[in-house]
Chain A
Amino acid sequence: MTFARRAFIVVWKDLLVERRSKETLNALLFFSLLLLFLFQFALGSDRERLTSALPGLLWLGFILSGLLALGRTFIAERENDCWDALLLTPGDKSAIYLGKLAGNLLLMLAVEAILVGLFVVFLNLDIARALPGLALVAGLGTLGLASVGTLFAAMTAHVRARELLFPVLLLPIQIPVLLGAVKATEAILLGEPLGAVAHWLKLLTAADVIYLTVGVLTFDAILEG
């Protein structure tokens, strides 16, 4: 019970800091809009082309904004010089990991929802029936991204050139999640039933379980001075 309270207080604190400083969410939302423009300009205005590339574009958008969000996981600790204090607090450090992870998930899912909305508007899509499946895949894929991303954010927090090292380390590891998520999204948008992509969903779930387990077990070793 204390573990849950401690994880929750981390989420509470991060949400509070975000609400007061208003830095991250607003910038990420704006970034999503810009991404949409970028895709449009890079691929041309042919709506057919963009729609057929939609699964890939969606997940490119999710990953790019996800990288930005995840990279900032410990920015409050860095700026306020609280890193040591986190380490000094007695208790299982993995509660901090899960709290930070939950915060990242909330942030990333919010941005993803907005991005999907923007795509629907700009490309005049009708994806109402695909939404539940899409939500499931987005949830599984984002969990995979965030679970490793939160861990690596802690790892690179004190390294020089962390903005470069963080994506370099994270992206290769995330390729299975990316492949699975894109393929599953593609099928769902084409109207296929979830059963058709069961193997991808199982892969995503397995990845999530593996990453979460490693994260919970090793976060302590990362945080340690």
Chain B
Amino acid sequence: MGNSLIQVTGLSKAFGMHRVLDGVELEVHGGSAVALLGPNGAGKTCLLRILATLSRPSRGSVTVAGHDCVREPERVRRSVGLVAHGAYVYEDLSAIENLRFWTTLAGLPWRADAGHRALVDVELERFATERVRTFSAGMKRRLALARFVLARPTVLLLDEPFAGLDQRAKKWLEEYLEAFKAGGGAILMATHSFGRELRVADRIAILTAGRIALDTARAALSHDDVQRLYALHTEEAS
């Protein structure tokens, strides 16, 4: 297991009077994946956004890839890839044009052949010059991940990564995430369903009422175990 790539200590986030996160503690090591389970509104998206430096914590400390999210957001952004609800692609541009834009904007060198190879890796090479407007949800997600083939983040943050994908795309994503782990990266996946995220995960953390109610290794648990634990902890909170 690699070194600690995500460290969250005493994290709280409040919007006005409403406290969404209340003392979250979490750690994810390189080469491993954590599935963050929780009902809607539990704060999973909020936590991911803070880790991605899209939002600032009200209290507590957050360190990603060795850099503090509040004090050194730029450094964090270089090492992090976020795949969330936003599509992050321009519908009027083609796949290769999108890739060129995001890669150049990130300050990375762009070469068309490297871009095409990235599209090959995510099985979109055939659609390189097609407008993204015509893509399915799975294809858009693969394009979002193609950026990371070039940008090579060490941490992946995913919000409902398998939602809306067909079987083939799900299988592809699972393999992609396993390869990412094998390369030493850390993965944090937020979800409110018990899908393939559990297969990829090495640990399960249950987020409810703003804190981590349970954080345990996944290996020993069966699918039913997980469901029971989940029901138990989320019921406790409500």
Are chains A and B touching in the complex at the 8 Å CB cutoff? Answer: yes
Do residues A87 and B54 form an inter-chain contact, with CB atoms below 8 A?
yes
CA distance A86 to B54 in the complex (A): 10
> Given the complex, which residues of A lie within 8 Å of B56, measured CB to CB?
225
CA distance A96 to B106 in the complex (A): 11
- Which residue of A has the minimal Cβ distance to B88? A85
CA distance A181 to B98 in the complex (A): 39
> Given the complex, which residues of B lie within 8 Å of A12, measured CB to CB?
101
Do residues A16 and B102 form an inter-chain contact, with CB atoms below 8 A?
no
Do residues A88 and B77 form an inter-chain contact, with CB atoms below 8 A?
yes
Do residues A9 and B88 form an inter-chain contact, with CB atoms below 8 A?
no
Residue-wise, chain B 89-103 has the 8 Å CB interface mask toward A (1 for contact) of 111110001001110
> Given the complex, which residues of A lie within 8 Å of B3, measured CB to CB?
none
Do residues A82 and B88 form an inter-chain contact, with CB atoms below 8 A?
yes
Q: With A88-B52, A89-B77, A89-B106 as given contacts, are A13 and B87 in contact (CB-CB < 8 Å)?
A: no
The total number of A-B Cβ pairs within 8 Å is: 79
Do residues B104 and A9 form an inter-chain contact, with CB atoms below 8 A?
yes
Contact of A81 among B80, B86, B101 (CB under 8 A): B86
**Shortest Cβ gap from B106 to chain A (Å):** 5
Q: Secondary structure at chain B's binding surface: helix, strand, loop or mixed? A: loop
- Interface size for B (C-beta < 8 A) is 30
- Interface size for A (C-beta < 8 A) is 28
> Given the complex, which residues of A lie within 8 Å of B154, measured CB to CB?
none
> Given the complex, which residues of A lie within 8 Å of B88, measured CB to CB?
81-82, 84-85
Q: With A21-B92, A88-B54, A225-B55 as given contacts, are A10 and B86 in contact (CB-CB < 8 Å)?
A: no
Question: Does A158 belong to the interface (CB within 8 Å)?
Answer: no
Question: Does A2 belong to the interface (CB within 8 Å)?
Answer: yes
Do residues A90 and B86 form an inter-chain contact, with CB atoms below 8 A?
no
Q: Which B residues form the contact surface with A (CB < 8 A)? A: 49, 52-56, 74, 77-78, 80, 82, 84-93, 97, 100-102, 104-107, 131
Interface pairs A-B: 9 shortest CB-CB: A85-B88, A81-B86, A225-B54, A9-B104, A90-B77, A20-B92, A90-B78, A91-B107, A17-B92
Contacts A9-B101, A91-B106 aside, 16 further interface pairs with beta carbons under 8 A come to: A9-B104, A13-B93, A16-B93, A21-B92, A84-B82, A85-B88, A86-B105, A87-B54, A89-B77, A89-B106, A90-B107, A91-B74, A95-B105, A225-B53, A225-B54, A225-B55
16 contacts between A and B (CB under 8 A): A16-B92, A17-B92, A76-B90, A76-B92, A79-B91, A80-B89, A80-B91, A82-B88, A86-B105, A88-B52, A88-B53, A88-B77, A90-B74, A90-B77, A91-B74, A225-B53
